[in-house]
Amino acid sequence: MGSIRFLKCRECGAEYTPIFKYICEECFGPLDVIYDVPTDLSRDTFSSRQDKTYWRYFELLPIADKNSIVNIHAGFTPLQHAEDLGTHIGNLKNLFIKNDSVNPTFSFKDRPAGVAISKSREIKLKAVGCASTGNLASATAAHAAKAHLPCFIFAPSDIENVKIAQALSYGAKFVAVEGTYDDANRVASIIGDSKGIGIVNINMRPYYVEGSKTLAFEVAEQLNWEIPDHLIIPVGSGAMLNAICKGFEELHEIGLVGDVSNLKVTAAQPHGCAPIVDAFKKNTQIVPVERPDTIAKSLAIGDPGDGVYVLKRLKQYSGIAEEATDDEIIDGIMTLAKTEGIFTEPAGGVSIAVLKKLVDEGFIEKDEKVVCYVTGNGLKSTEAIISRLPKLDIVKPDVQTVSAMIT
């Protein structure tokens, strides 16, 4: 399995034994997992495996004991060549949708949650939990159920009902916090540390973020180990974007892909909660959004924990940050559904809307190989678009009447 050398502070470089630790004692910076990667890994090592989950890349993930893995068969999701969407948006010939809406709990969060809870089991924690805007709640609760661990969800009380129902169905204890995601996050952090609960996206964060690297591993393998020209990534906390970049870099370091320095990365945020976009465009520090106001609730993180690192990645990869209004998000959702048959939640609509903006502005060339990440399923957020859909006509079960309607 993955052989961890140590945890390393992203800011000052201090090194720590890989245990239940997530903040540097010297400077309070975040900790990253550093590996001893086997020297005999090749493309065939992974491509020949029958395991069609993200655990096919176990050498590059932070679990030492294979028996600790909590596997609900997530990952290795479709990379769909979106020819019709590409034509509709602007004659893009090489547009691909990484469709994580088909994961077991219907979002990409199965990846980081699965890795964090596997690590929690490996280090013998007795309970797990998360702070969430909804998708992570479901993913954490599902993995906790599979691992037979008590689970505590801390989330804003106004998230979509379907996400609450999904988490509760797995047996989780749901703490509905009156306030924003940042309020729920603060409470979860204090409770997790005081009670020894593995809060996957807080005190288990060094391991948690490693799961999202597999979104890079899979794209590379599915593109026959070629690097895309451009990535469009929806951003809330920013952890996924940073992890995807790290994933491509690790593949390059072990010789599985070529040069990644020409990769371009775009951070896509909703207009009602776009602190990273604002900072990027104004070339200033990130100013938290106190009251996010957007239909893209899974991205409604006003104080993004990895925001500063997203800005560094955008500079490193000649990237850009762009936003989309609620109307543009809804148009993105419906355009993707009508062209490719993929029904995404608003976060994916943000990706599509921002993609269209970049094409219109000439930032993306027609021949570029573009990967657009769709991270969650539209069935979780139907209320976001229901007002834009045609009203149903209720008719009597009369063949003549119905026949007249079919034109």
Closest Cα to residue 240, out of 121, 139, 172, 148? 139
pTM of the model: 0.95
Torsion angle of the four alpha carbons 352, 354, 358, 364, in this order, in degrees rounded to the nearest 10: -50
Integer Cα distance of 284 and 286 in angstroms = 6
3-state secondary structure of 304: coil
Going from N- to C-terminal start, the domains of the chain cover 79-106+209-388
When pLDDT is cut at 50, 70 and 90, the band that residue 336 belongs to is very high
Q: Under the phi-then-psi rule, with left for phi > 0, alpha for psi from -120 to 50, and beta for the rest, what region is 29? A: beta
Q: Report which of residues 393 and 67 the model is more confident about.
A: 67
- pLDDT, tens only, 34-65: 999 888 999 999 999 999 999 999 999 999 99
Residue scoring higher pLDDT (374 or 19): 374
Report domain 79-106+209-388's class: alpha beta
How far is 370 from 350, CA to CA, in rounded Å? 16
Per-residue pLDDT for 290 more than 60?
yes
Give the percent of the chain with pLDDT over 90.
Answer: 92
Q: How confident is the model at residue 160 (pLDDT cuts 50, 70, 90)?
A: confident
Rounded to a whole number of angstroms, the distance between the first and last alpha carbons of the chain is 59
181-232 pLDDT, tens digit per residue, is: 999 999 999 999 999 999 999 999 999 999 999 999 999 999 999 999 999 9
Across the chain, what does the average pLDDT equal? 96
Write down the residue that tokens 């026959």 correspond to: 224
pLDDT of residue 393: 87
Report which DSSP code applies to 322.
E
Per-residue pLDDT tens over the stretch 62-93: 999 999 999 999 999 999 999 999 999 999 99
